[in-house]
């Protein structure tokens, strides 16, 4: 361990934005471009989509398992979204930050508000679509959700878009690589 790394806490950067905006693609591109940044793996009670893997995309838990972890105060934040529960496991985030690693969370608006209250030093970044029409088309044509889930996600998207002024920064996802680079610029500009 060199002198520089002693005592340096990692930075916590929280990314949110409406469902369908492509934020997980942007975040994954960012960690591909800078593998030194760690992306937290959330827990969820939703069913895996085709191609998603347990422990990689999410920790896929039953309602009972999720509740047990919640009862143990195992979540830094948690929320219900479109009929399922989601949460950020507290322990791994704390461990990486203490080690001095910068950490990204990709969570919904309710979660951002909880993290902001608990950890005011966190930086918050909102990923916005180029237009409402593009977002609506992406959400309705994705084909991974049933009609009721799409309707709930469109509702949530309207609420999330209305809250973008709460964030430290807004990045428009017109091009994934550009958006990922802008996100990384925020991570490094807020690093100590």
> What is the binding site for ligand 5GP (CB under 6 A)?
19, 42, 46, 77, 79, 81, 86-88, 106-108, 110-111
Closer by beta carbon to ligand 5GP, 8 or else 74: 74
Q: What is the β-pairing status of strands 12-16 and 123-128?
A: parallel
Q: List helix spans (H) across the chain.
A: 23-33, 63-71, 90-99, 109-118, 132-141, 147-162, 176-189
Minimum Å gap between C-beta 36 and ligand 5GP is 22
Neighbours of 116 (CB within 10 A): 18
Closer by beta carbon to ligand 5GP, 10 or else 87: 87
Closer by beta carbon to ligand 5GP, 114 or else 182: 114
Can you tell me the distance from the alpha carbon of 91 to that of 109, in angstroms, rounded to the nearest whole number?
21
Q: Which residue has the tokens 């550009």?
A: 178
Of 22, 36, 44, nearest to 187 (Cα)?
Answer: 36
Minimum Å gap between C-beta 91 and ligand 5GP is 14
Minimum Å gap between C-beta 24 and ligand 5GP is 7
Q: Which residue has the tokens 């959700």?
A: 145
Closer by beta carbon to ligand 5GP, 7 or else 143: 143
Q: Shortest Cβ contact with ligand 5GP: which residue?
A: 111
Closer by beta carbon to ligand 5GP, 70 or else 190: 70
Minimum Å gap between C-beta 189 and ligand 5GP is 23
DSSP 100: T
Tokens of 144: 């991974």
Partners of 2 in the β-ladder: none
Closer by beta carbon to ligand 5GP, 126 or else 186: 126
Minimum Å gap between C-beta 1 and ligand 5GP is 31
Minimum Å gap between C-beta 45 and ligand 5GP is 10
Count Cα neighbours of 16 within 13 Å in the Cβ-side half-sphere: 27
């Amino acid at each position: 361990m060199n002198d520089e790394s002693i005592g340096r806490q990692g930075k916590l950067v929280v990314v949110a934005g409406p469902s369908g905006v492509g934020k997980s693609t942007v975040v994954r591109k960012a960690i591909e471009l800078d593998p030194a940044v760690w992306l937290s793996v959330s827990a969820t009670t939703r069913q895996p989509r085709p191609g998603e893997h347990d422990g990689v995309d999410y920790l896929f838990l039953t309602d009972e398992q999720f509740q047990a972890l919640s009862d143990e105060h195992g979540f830094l934040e948690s929320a219900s979204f479109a009929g399922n529960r989601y949460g950020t496991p507290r322990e791994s985030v704390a461990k990486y930050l203490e080690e001095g690693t910068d950490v990204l969370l990709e969570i919904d608006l309710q979660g951002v508000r909880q993290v902001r209250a608990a950890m005011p030093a966190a930086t918050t970044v909102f990923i916005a679509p180029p237009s409402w029409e593009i977002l609506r088309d992406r959400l309705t044509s994705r084909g991974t959700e049933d009609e009721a889930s799409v309707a709930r996600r469109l509702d949530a998207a309207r609420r999330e878009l209305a809250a973008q002024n709460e964030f430290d920064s807004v990045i428009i996802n017109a091009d994934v690589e550009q958006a990922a680079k802008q996100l990384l610029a925020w991570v490094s500009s807020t690093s100590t």
